[in-house]
Amino acid sequence: MTTKTWTKEQIRTALENDDRWLIRGVLAIYNFQTEAEKSQDATLEDNGVGFNGADAFILSQFAEQYKARGFLSRKQVDIARRKMLKYAGQLAKIANGKIQTYERAA
């Protein structure tokens, strides 16, 4: 059995061309935000995963909206696409199992 290994370039191409990949990418990165970050729509920890400070608010809002309504507007998709391309490396690591569910100390 061969397991596919995703490259940053393959993920970037998928984000550029497929809205489903884009939404899955937004949700995947959002899942790495801490609960405090999610509640404040901000980046509070420098843990190497999740949205950067400039994108945390808007992309967190998009993730929450998608989870609540099941869709984003065309304009939101276009904004998300421009912002999400920089996260292709993180998404490749997630897809390849190199970043797994972020464990936080209780």
Q: Is residue 37 part of a domain?
A: yes
* Alpha helices, H only, 2-87: 8-17, 19-30, 35-40, 56-69, 74-84
**Are the beta carbons of 22 and 80 closer than 8 angstroms?**
yes
Digit-coded pLDDT (tens) for 35-84: 766 666 556 566 667 898 899 999 999 999 999 999 999 999 999 999 99
Report d(CA 106, CA 101) in Å as an integer: 15
Specify the number of domains making up the chain. 1
pLDDT bracket for residue 106 (50, 70, 90): very low
Q: Is residue 104 part of a domain?
A: no
What value does the CA radius of gyration of the chain take, rounded to a whole number of Å? 14
Q: Is residue 58 part of a domain?
A: yes
pLDDT bracket for residue 89 (50, 70, 90): very high
Tell me the residue range of the domain where 87 lies.
Answer: 8-95
